[in-house]
A and B are shown apart, each in its own frame.
Chain A
Amino acid sequence: MAIDVGILINLGFYLSIAIVFAILALGFNLQWGYTGLFNAGIAGFFLIGAYTCAIAITAPAPPVPGGLPGHLGGFSLPFPVGAALAMLAAGGTAALVAIPTLRLRADYLAIATIAFAEIARIFTINLETITGGTIGILLIPRPVDYGPGQPFLNMATIVGIGGAILLILLLFLRFVAESPWGRVLRATRDDEEATMALGKNTFRYKLQAFALGGAIMGLAGALFAVTLVYLEPVGSFAPAVTFSVWVMVIVGGAGNLRGAILGAFLIYGMEWLSVQLKDFAPEGVKDTIFFIRLMIIGVLLILLVLFRPEGILREKKRTLR
């Protein structure tokens, strides 16, 4: 008896998107969980990564029927190059946004980043010759493509690639963030003035952490582009994406790498599940199930903040020998 391939593909879709969110959460965790920098424009860095990669790896666009604008591109670069460019673009943008604001009070970084993300999205909608406007970018090539007849293989491959990227990123962050360098980040988070008085140039550390976190969000964007194989700016990069990532890190456990990943799989899992359950829900609930999901997340957050403010997986105590 064969298992319904549709279910597997559906499950693969959940995994592939949850992986993208897990990478976003790891980027935000480095910025906020480790360094205390509150990024309110996650969606913007995610967008820059996604579009940079998509433009870099797509083939020359065929003429679009109806005289639609198409987009910049046709470079046909391999995915690893596209992903590297995405990281550079998003990380560089993060540094540019951070330089004027990091010296100011923490609130200004949040204001600047939320404004940046919205500006990026509005530009993306309107710069049609570069981004394809509201139509977006279609026909983004998969890193490995088994053709249209093999949806399961294609999905399994993208989950494998995403999983490998997530694993490598986790190992990289464990090496980098759980180091003396990462210790200065945590010190800056706890008390920046004291850390400065202990001889650390905290501005430099904040800038590095913010740019690296931004680059990681760009990587998430690159993976997102080849997972969906099309990009559209209106919904995929809305402020709600930023809010979801906050919730993932808060629920999973700020300052804990595995916590951020767990939070992403959990919170995106609830979203995915609410879509799956829609068909099985009783008549009266069908249309409201999405709102029920939001309510559940809200109640969960309140309970968590009350009873376990450090998240499901709390930050580890680093015992030195």
Chain B
Amino acid sequence: MDSNPILGVHEVQKAFGGIRAVDRCTLTVAPRSITGLIGPNGAGKSTLFNLIAGLYRPDGGAIRFGGVRIDGLPPYEIVQLGLTKTWQIPHELKNLTVLENLVLAAKGNAGEHLTNLFIRPRSVRSDEKRLRARAREVPALTQLESVANEHAKTLSGGQKKLLELARALMSDPSLVLLDEPVAGVNQTLAASLMDLIATLRRDGRTFFLIEHDMNVVMNRCDTVIVMHQGRKIAEGTPATVKADPAVIESYLGG
């Protein structure tokens, strides 16, 4: 791609005790792409996502999002810049309803500031009203409509995955990190989830996703990055990566 990368990871390192989970990893993600991140268990994929989202602090290296250094920023500031992540194991807010989960994920809600409740009651009301309406229209919600006012803890595994995506979209991100978006989701729902992601990409969003389902990776991603032992070992179109001897050796198997 000729345009500047939306995400640039440069020589990023993270060790837990003696284990180098991410070892001087360098990679880029092109804007408006669906980029897949694959690799064997323990390759450092989820750790890398947590580093990018600010949940872990890197030991070294630089992470740029839209040209801006984001390594070292707290996660809530990174979200404000337009980068959101979903979780491999759903982190739904259990005792909040589906709609509450969504409204909470939106940015710039005046009522979330204690002082505004007293000094700007009108903005508090109008923001809340606007965001509730938006939550109802967030694309992934169509299949959660019937449970919109149920506690998130009552959802099924597949519904929680949907909620993860819907919630990520509420913050109107330009880049979404998806950690195994279709793991444990039935084929039909997985296909419609990936269709939705394809549509959103056409609208200008970028998706960077970890996935073990090779069907999804080969058919849905433009670019695939392969990680092994904390580093990038290959990158290219699904077809080239599939044929790469190093990838076959370490991940896909002979």
Contacts and interface: CB of A to CB of B under 8 A. Distances in A.
Contacts of B79: 197-199
A315 B95 contact: yes
B117 A183 contact: no
A111 interface: no
Contact of B104 (A176, A183, A321): A183
Contact of B100 (A179, A208, A315, A318): A318
A317 B85 CA distance: 27
Given A320-B99, A320-B100, A196 B124 contact: no
A199 B76 CA distance: 4
Contact of A179 (B85, B93, B124, B149): B124
Interface in A129-180: 175-176, 179-180
Interface stretch (A38-46, A184-192, A242-250): A184-192
Interface in A192-249: 193-202, 208
Given A183-B103, A319-B149, A199 B171 contact: yes
A317 B151 contact: yes
Interface in B88-121: 91-97, 99-100, 103-105, 107, 109-114, 117
A181 interface: yes
Contacts of A184: 104, 112
Contacts of B113: 181
A180 B149 contact: no
Given A181-B117, A317-B151, A196 B76 contact: yes
A199 B83 CA distance: 10
B149 A320 contact: yes
A191 B128 contact: no
B132 A193 contact: no
Given A179-B124, A317-B149, A319-B149, A200 B112 contact: yes
A8 B52 CA distance: 66
Given A317-B149, A319-B149, A200 B55 contact: no
B167 interface: yes
Contacts of A191: 91-94
B75 A197 contact: yes
Contacts of B151: 317
Contacts of B114: 176, 181, 208
Contacts of B60: none
Interface in A40-85: none
A255 B151 CA distance: 15
The listed residue with most B CB atoms (<10 A of its CB), out of A194, A195, A319, is A194
Given A198-B104, A208-B114, A320-B132, A193 B93 contact: no
Given A184-B112, A197-B79, A198-B79, A175 B104 contact: no
Nearest to A202: B76
B87 interface: yes
A214 to B, nearest CB: 15
B123 to A, nearest CB: 11
B97 A193 contact: no
Contact of A186 (B93, B111, B128, B150): B93
Interface string B156-194: 000000000001000100000000000000000000000
A193 to B, nearest CB: 7
Interface residues of B, number: 40
The listed residue with most A CB atoms (<10 A of its CB), out of B53, B95, B109, B150, is B95
A250 B210 CA distance: 42
Contacts of B55: 193, 196-197
A292 to B, nearest CB: 36
A196 B77 CA distance: 9
Contacts of A187: 93, 96, 104
Contacts of B111: 179-181
Contact of B96 (A186, A202, A321): A186
A102 to B, nearest CB: 14
B74 interface: yes
Contacts of B53: 197
A194 B132 contact: no
Nearest to A320: B99
B212 to A, nearest CB: 22
Contacts of B135: 320
Contact of B117 (A175, A202, A320): A175
A198 B74 contact: no
Contacts of A321: 132
A201 B74 contact: yes
B199 interface: no
Contacts of B132: 320-321
A201 B74 CA distance: 8
Contacts of B84: 197-198
A158 B215 CA distance: 73
Nearest to B102: A320
A200 B75 CA distance: 8
Contacts of B124: 179-180
B93 A190 contact: yes
Given A189-B95, A197-B91, A198-B79, 4 more contacts: A180-B127, A194-B91, A196-B75, A199-B107
Interface of A: 175-176, 179-181, 183-184, 186-187, 189-191, 193-202, 208, 255, 315, 317-321
State the 7 A-B residue pairs at the shortest beta-carbon distance, nearest first: A180-B111, A199-B79, A194-B91, A320-B99, A190-B93, A180-B112, A196-B75
